[in-house]
Structure formats: C-alpha cells, structure tokens
Structure 1
C-alpha cells in the first residue's frame, strides 16, 4: 500500500508518518490485502489520518470530534470516531473497496467476555446523504492495566470480528456474512466516548 512520505532518513528512504497515540489498529482482512498485492495492477492507498503500522495493519487515528448522538443507534453506551481513508482497487476498476472514517459503537449488549460493538464506515462512494455501512461486528473487551491507567488511556481488544451482510456486499460476495476478519485493538483517552447526559455531543475526544 502507498503512503505519503514524511521526508528521507539518513539512508535516503522516506520515513513513515508517526503513529498517533490514540486510534484503532486493524488489519481488515490479511488474505484480501495479500490478494490485492498479488493481483497485476492491484493498488492500495492509505490517507487522511490512517497510518500503516505493519505490513498488514493500519492505525486509524482518533478523530477530533466524536459521533453526534443523533447519528447513533438507540442503546449506544460508548462511541468513537476515527480518521482514515483506505482504498483497494484492481481488475481494471472492477474491484474497488474503500474503508474510510470508521466509527466504533458499543451497543449495550454483550457477555462476560466483553461488550457487543459494531464498526461502521462512510459510504464507500461518498454519496451525499448516504447512510453509514455497518462493516463488522465484534465483542470488545476492556484490558485495564497499571500502565494504561498511568498513561490516561483505555485499551480495548476484539478477536471475534465478523463481517456483516452489508460488509459482504462491499466485498462483492467474496466473503460471506459471518466471515472472520482481523482482530481489532483500540487505544482511547480514559473516559472518552461517553454519551453526554445533557443531550449534546458524546463526551471525550482527542486533541
């Protein structure tokens, strides 16, 4: 995948952009990323707040503004918005997948293993007024630690990440609904993403 260079290091190789302190780290679907790389003419791009942090993982930076309560489903207990625009293309334009500006919403369900959550993305074609697309669901578990508390952050992880029916359409039916996708790791400021009891914006944000 491509990225914006940040200036050469001593070897003359452009240095990658620095990873933000808060964000959502996700590999999307490793087998899909590798397929695009193998495909003649296949391309990938990472921009607008997303940073590659490994050959197969991307960090979506926490957005300055959280989702507005009016845009969240009933029953939301926590919600965060993230920045980043990741695109894959190939087969002469017949394949196009865009994962942009994800939101992570805890819906108040769950088990002892964690909280039910949905990751949604902006309409892949940026159609005006189009609803967000629920891409994957997961059980998100908090991982408290003295180190996280000292840093003023919360760490959340999800290993059981599953594609939604709408997500299956985004991938043109190559993967069925329920297909496992890559694990998710989230680092956010402690106490952020809490619904504002006054009915305003979701309390807590980055920056």
Structure 2
C-alpha cells in the first residue's frame, strides 16, 4: 500500500522567497505593544505595506549592488509610522536604503522630509554582510540579523539601547543583468 499517494508536492523554491523589496518586522514586540494601546496606530504608505505576516515591506526604488565586491546601495520607497501615547511615541521609518560595505552594512532612513531624495539620512540598524543568493532573476538576502545604532536608539526615544537586537530583515531585488 502506498501511503504517500496523497502527499502534496513540495512548494517550489520561488514560493519560499520573501516578496520583492525590503521586508522587515522592525521589533515585533514593540509593534505588538503599540497595537495593544487604545490609541496605538500603525500606518504604511507611499510604497510601504503591511504584509499578512505583520512585517513591513518597502518597494525597490533603484540603487546598485556589485556582487563581486559585496558593496553598493539598494534604495527602497515607503513610509511606516508607528505611534501611540497620544502622539508622545512616534517612530517613522521612511525610504530605507540598504548600504553594503566590506564586512557589513546598514539600513539608513530619511530624516526630516522623507519625500525629498536629498533628505538627511541616519543609520537605524547595522548587520553583518552576507553574500546574496541568486534565485531565478533575483538576488536574495534572508534573515539578516540587525542591531540598533546610536541614532536608531534616538529614534526609539532610548527605549532600546545601542546594539539592541532588532528583527531580522530580508531583501529581494532583481539581479543585475550581465553586461
């Protein structure tokens, strides 16, 4: 008797990929706390969305990455706003960029007026560099462990200290075309 006749075939690898763009949960315990407040609010606009998982996704907005050197900048568009305590708690993550340098990288966000591409940028979290996986037509980084920077601690009004582990992030962008 074949007990495996009704087995469901394994999902193709493509189905296991993160959505295109930058996907990040920020700090799930913080988001859960905010949404539990009577006036807590979470908004994702202008290219950002809240996924079914509760994570945030920001759409690709250009940039370049050199797989040979592991360096470059990937730009994403979107604006996530987390607030509560009658406006006394407000965190904005606007137009994040991933900046890769040898051995590591950082996620920077627009500070001030995020719609302006010339806006000041601050490093929110850092991560250790990992080579991307080339899957289909995409470059994919999954589960990059992030740590809060000093500026990031300021953004969270020092509720989290410098070096605090935040949620891992994932990135999926179109692979550069061979020239």
Pair in the same fold by TM > 0.5: yes
Higher strand proportion (structure 1 or 2): 2
Other-structure match for 2:113: 126
Q: Following the alignment from structure 1 to structure 2, what is the Cα–Cα distance between the partners of residues 59 and 105?
A: 17
Among 138, 150, 158, which residue is 1:173 paired with?
A: 158
CA deviation string 1:95-140 (max 9, x = no partner)? 11000100001012x2xxxxx01000011x4287652010000023
| 1:156 partnered with 2:141 | yes
Other-structure match for 1:17: none
Asked if the contact 1:142–1:154 (Cα under 8 Å) also holds between the matched residues in 2, the reply is: no
Compute the displacement of 1:22 (Å).
2.5
For the structure 1 residues 55 and 22, does the alpha-carbon distance in structure 2 shift closer, same or farther, using more than 3 Å as the test? closer
Other-structure match for 1:141: 130
Identify unmatched segments of 5+ residues in structure 2. 1-17
DSSP-derived class of the 2:30 partner: helix
Among 12, 23, 26, which residue is 1:25 paired with?
A: 23
1:178-189 to 2 correspondences below 5 Å: 178-189=163-174
State the aligned residue count: 154
| 1:191 partnered with 2:179 | no
Structure 1 outlier segments of 4+, above 4 Å: 127-130
Compute the displacement of 1:152 (Å).
1.2
DSSP-derived class of the 2:129 partner: strand
Question: What's the RMSD between the two structures over aligned residues?
Answer: 2.3
Asked if the contact 1:23–1:61 (Cα under 8 Å) also holds between the matched residues in 2, the reply is: yes
1:1-207 to 2 correspondences below 5 Å: 22-63=20-61, 65-66=62-63, 77-108=71-102, 110=103, 116-123=104-111, 125-126=112-113, 131-144=120-133, 148=135, 151-191=136-176
TM-score (norm 2): 0.78
CA deviation string 1:46-99 (max 9, x = no partner)? 111112223420111101x328xxxxxxx9921100011000111111111000
TM-score (norm 1): 0.68
